[in-house]
Structure 1
Amino acid sequence: MPTLPPAQAQYLSDVNTPWKMRLFLLKNLPSMAFWGGRVDEATTEHCVASLPYGWRSQNPFSSIYFAAQSGVAELSTGLLVTSSMKAHDRKIAMYVIDFRAQFTKKATERIYYRCDQGLEIQATVDRSVASGQAQTIECVSVGRTAGGLEVGRAYITWSIKAK
């Protein structure tokens, strides 16, 4: 595994430290903190974020609320974008320009949304830094139960622009 730039290595260390991530969520994404979302694993290649089934994340139909699933899916992709940005010493803007999702099964237990596009995201950030132009990437995050049953799939398009 190649050596990571110090800022990126520190960021991934912080994201993988539960108490630091909880503080980050409370400060920056309070709805995710309320729903009980957490990061289970983040590397330069993939990110897994999960959400429990419980009263805070439940809808009136006894499954996990679609907005909570959307939030954890976005988190699994956004952390990869942010990690990739930390590899550079420039200001880089990121924002969601499109979001689509499919919820295929009732989520009635902890679900895990996983994005495996870390290397593609890094290449997109690198292109923006090299060109100074905005770049876009559609990230896919797949939600599954611990047993592997797919419950949802989110397509999040990020715009990334080095300043």
Structure 2
Amino acid sequence: MKITPAKINSFMFFKLPLGWLSGLRVKSITESNSIVIIRHRWINQNPFKSMFWAAQGMAAEMTTGVLVMNAVEASNKKFSMLVTKQEGGFFKKATGKITFTCNDGYLISSTLKKSIATKEGQLITLSSEGKNEDGVVVSNFKFEWSIKVKL
């Protein structure tokens, strides 16, 4: 099954309702990058009239996670995947439409191959950057994924 933005967004409705209700939407997925948008709305705001940091984190994590899912699907093997570490930085109030992008897809296939060869879990760190409608960086995140081939 090919992973597409529409399939991920439908999956989110049923399996990740908090992400879907907060307005999180996958816009594009390629082998090398992914784009996810989220709009500042009442449901995802903080008391300071900007987007809550956790809503930004969900969008950022989704950019990295869909790239891993896409690479796993292309490998024709089964893998377990889990975020083991996360860090984020915040630079400007997040209001309006925030676009998160991860361009680290090129790192994933070698990690999957290494897990297949060693039959052990591997760690990979993927980055995501969120920009507002003016192209100004509002936040960035790094997610460490543990990826292990299922035997």
TM-score normalised by structure 1 residue count: 0.88
Matched, 1:91 2:78: yes
* Alignment map for 1:93-112 (pairs within 5 Å): 93-112=80-99
Matched, 1:40 2:11: no
C-alpha distance in 2, partners of 1:27/1:146? 29
C-alpha distance in 2, partners of 1:79/1:85? 10
Secondary structure of the structure 1 residue equivalent to 2:41: coil
On the 8 A contact 2:9/2:26 being kept in 1, the answer is no
* Alignment map for 1:44-123 (pairs within 5 Å): 44-123=31-110
Q: How many residues were matched structurally?
A: 150
C-alpha distance in 2, partners of 1:126/1:92? 11
Runs of 4+ in 1 over 3 A off after TM superposition: none
C-alpha distance in 2, partners of 1:82/1:137? 14
Identity of aligned residues (%): 33
Secondary structure of the structure 1 residue equivalent to 2:74: coil
Matched, 1:31 2:18: yes
Letter in 2 for 1:155: K
TM-score normalised by structure 2 residue count: 0.94
On the 8 A contact 2:123/2:145 being kept in 1, the answer is yes
Secondary structure of the structure 1 residue equivalent to 2:141: strand
Query: Please, what is the CA RMSD of the aligned residues?
Result: 1.1
Aligned to 1:134: 121
Aligned to 2:5: 16
- Once the two structures are TM-superposed, the CA of residue 26 in structure 1 deviates from its matched residue by 1.3
User: Which segments of 5 or more consecutive residues in structure 2 lack a partner in the other structure?
Assistant: none
